[in-house]
Structure 1
């Protein structure tokens, strides 16, 4: 079997490096609901003798906690009544990477299974793989690339925490969109991230400045959707670790301040099982491509929760901000939720709704599942929107987490595409987020009310 990337290690190569004392630590990790890498660090010798042969495990509450890792009520798969038992970490030996920013360290990603080896269907990676299997059965392979933006600050994470994340100094003091001078100011960090990710088996394209102060983006070449999500998850964690090593901090949160937010535009296309082009023929889009776009548009409001999973996510959607507010498609039109770009082998759709806080597995599963739904039901694509989508009368992207949660949980199509257990699980995740936010007292309330009310 051909490995994903020549810089990834085979299982035998990992063992050989451990035997030669080139690697002494192996991270075994999965991606949780919030898109974070969770797992364990193993001594190399123990990994070879035990984990590589028999696997390892972790508490099933890891897919049923809030951002602060608190156990919460409402999840069917995990509770005090069920005893908070274990899940198995099923190692994916196609994902072994060297992390050169950490001494003698490799990482391997995994799926989650129950003790009887049945899949944990609420796991983000499993949810995406279920849609990949549907695509395979229909005769297609899905390819995708994610474009993550982040803001860099000249302060440590510890200092940022102590200051309640206020009054931080961004690494640039003005808009550095496409600015070479602006990226040069941050190049020691950007270069380190690029080269570390390249060594970790990712095909790095470039770095560029963005609009908010200290905002940047590092682009990676597209790949199969699961590989793209795997890369995305490792990159987000590694970028923060490398920033910390530089005495800096960076954030992927969707809306740090009142300026431009952090997006995660997702480019997606289908190919045939033999890599045939299926979205373009005779100089134009194919009916299959139009049906796929129609499916994603039809499900946009119902799946916004998976593109924008947090209260903060919705503050990014603002008119004239380059973040979409309108459910529409256009040809190379950045005011629309769906922007079509490329032709021939490069024909693809860009979903501009997801923010930097999106879980890549869930966002890709939503896009792919919705597109396949459009093909299955032969949905007709509405006319292209030309001009300014912000001022059009088209349907709007949900503008609050509650609105997105309600659209998701009541959607018969979402339940058909993802299954009831998945929809119910991620509805609960939204409920937990909403309950926590509604119980909090914000800086805005204090400033308005402390003296004057």
Structure 2
């Protein structure tokens, strides 16, 4: 991963966005200013603006507005029912939230467009999208909205004189069948895009290239800069790396990218899955997070100290020590679903032990790079994590290490899977929720109300699973118990 800053792109125009999708039209692409949007609307090149937020599960939620209305109302906040931050994956009206309930009438909150995120979406005809911050209908920031949770940690970081530059490696599985076909077959006998482990294979990726090339090129046109793509360990498993940027910008790109991967797959008669563990026989889908700190005053790396033999500054060591110490409480935000914990399996490149190393993929934290590119990689999150929440949890943990002036233990060497003396990552959803509930540090960093909100979210998910009768139970017990 090339860890050099990639500047924001200006809007560009494309006469051929991607032949695979049949999108051969004169169209704006990339970031848009309001004046550029007005110009595109006047020429009939854009007629729809999606105003979107991210829900707790990391999905884009919002409204499609006519572009005319969006501009005529002067980009005003869009009112939205507050239950969208109080539901589960099934959009169930979950009882028990303090912020939203039948007793409170399920009122409105507001989506406040962040115009810096406005861009044309080249895979959707004549469509632009803007991400939003969420406030109460009276304009007060909603602390438990994922983008605001991250903003709060970035503000704390700025008070220490730093900004976070981050990237994430997001994996998924590609299938040569539609989402509807996969669902009608109850996700059994899936048509993986490859029938054999394809890690790094050029021939197999050439077969996948019509879809993967579309992702690379269309994301580039949407100002979501791509480094490259490669096949991962298991049949059909893919990784497309986004270029790194400031933390909030990276998260914005990630949620647009993930949604776009699904939309483009749908248009091409394919499907993709970002489930953390699709099968016990397959590699899990990760969301490895790379993080470095930048001094806001000088622009220099906050992690690199040229006077040290190892190059690691005190800030680096304290931050990494905090990330490790507070990982048990942070794990819920890295692994928010029942399925997430099935990924933490020895010998699969997913971590099981809370240790750090220098370039050792068996540990949860891996130190990489030299000089200004010195950083660490947190290997705990899965592809099902909400990036805003995962990034916020990692930064909160690191900041706690600085506040506590923690001492970083020596780097681990060897096979961490066999290290019985190293603490484990919480191995189940209920364990990570217990760790979060017991953490005074996270209560302080995120706020009591935010922690209660997400604890309720996690415990509802746990209860929903515990009440379900699974195929595994039927296969095991129907005849033989």
Q: Does 1:62 align with 2:66?
A: no
5 Å matches for 1:400-415? Answer: 400-415=428-443
Structure 1 residue aligned with 2:21: none
Correspondence for 2:197 among 152, 172, 175: 175
Structure 2 residue aligned with 1:5: 9
Offset at residue 278 of structure 1 (A):
1.7
Structure 2 residue aligned with 1:277: 301
Structure 1 residue aligned with 2:290: 267
Deviations 1:133-185 (A, max 9, x none): 11111100100001100000111000111111111110011111111112111
Structure 1 residue aligned with 2:62: 39
Correspondence for 2:473 among 441, 445, 448: 445
Structure 1 residue aligned with 2:414: 387
Structure 1 residue aligned with 2:3: none
Q: Does 1:376 align with 2:380?
A: no
CA distance in 1, matches of 2:76, 2:233: 49
Secondary structure of 2:115's counterpart equals coil
Verify the 8 A CA contact 1:5 1:202 in the aligned structure 2. Answer: no
Structure 1 residue aligned with 2:370: 343
Offset at residue 452 of structure 1 (A):
1.6
Q: Which stretch has the larger CA shift, 283-292 or 28-37?
A: 283-292
Structure 1 residue aligned with 2:218: 196
Structure 1 residue aligned with 2:188: 166
CA distance in 1, matches of 2:46, 2:75: 18
Structure 1 residue aligned with 2:118: 96
5 Å matches for 1:294-443? Answer: 294-392=321-419, 393-443=421-471
CA distance in 1, matches of 2:38, 2:68: 9
Secondary structure of 2:72's counterpart equals helix
Verify the 8 A CA contact 2:121 2:129 in the aligned structure 1. Answer: yes
CA distance in 2, matches of 1:54, 1:232: 25
Q: Which stretch has the larger CA shift, 280-289 or 197-206?
A: 280-289
Gaps of at least 5 residues in structure 2 are 1-5, 11-29
CA distance in 2, matches of 1:300, 1:19: 51
Offset at residue 5 of structure 1 (A):
3.0
Structure 1 residue aligned with 2:19: none
Verify the 8 A CA contact 2:211 2:265 in the aligned structure 1. Answer: yes
Verify the 8 A CA contact 1:279 1:288 in the aligned structure 2. Answer: yes
CA distance in 1, matches of 2:8, 2:98: 35
Secondary structure of 1:280's counterpart equals coil
Offset at residue 128 of structure 1 (A):
0.2
Secondary structure of 2:156's counterpart equals helix
Correspondence for 2:263 among 237, 241, 244: 241
Deviations 1:242-267 (A, max 9, x none): 01111110000100011111000000
CA distance in 2, matches of 1:238, 1:87: 26
Structure 1 residue aligned with 2:155: 133
Secondary structure of 1:387's counterpart equals coil
CA distance in 2, matches of 1:53, 1:172: 45
CA distance in 1, matches of 2:89, 2:460: 10
Offset at residue 73 of structure 1 (A):
1.0
What CA RMSD, in Å, does the superposition of the two structures yield over aligned residues? 1.1
Verify the 8 A CA contact 2:367 2:375 in the aligned structure 1. Answer: yes
Verify the 8 A CA contact 2:75 2:113 in the aligned structure 1. Answer: no
Deviations 1:319-362 (A, max 9, x none): 11100000000000100000000011111110000000000000
Aligned length: 451
Offset at residue 3 of structure 1 (A):
8.5
CA distance in 2, matches of 1:25, 1:427: 37
CA distance in 1, matches of 2:94, 2:313: 47
Verify the 8 A CA contact 1:23 1:106 in the aligned structure 2. Answer: yes
Gaps of at least 5 residues in structure 1 are none
CA distance in 1, matches of 2:75, 2:388: 27
5 Å matches for 1:72-87? Answer: 72-87=94-109
CA distance in 2, matches of 1:236, 1:63: 19
CA distance in 1, matches of 2:75, 2:64: 16
Verify the 8 A CA contact 1:338 1:349 in the aligned structure 2. Answer: yes
CA distance in 1, matches of 2:201, 2:228: 13
Offset at residue 55 of structure 1 (A):
2.1
CA distance in 2, matches of 1:163, 1:47: 41
CA distance in 1, matches of 2:234, 2:96: 38
Q: Does 1:28 align with 2:48?
A: no
Verify the 8 A CA contact 1:4 1:94 in the aligned structure 2. Answer: no
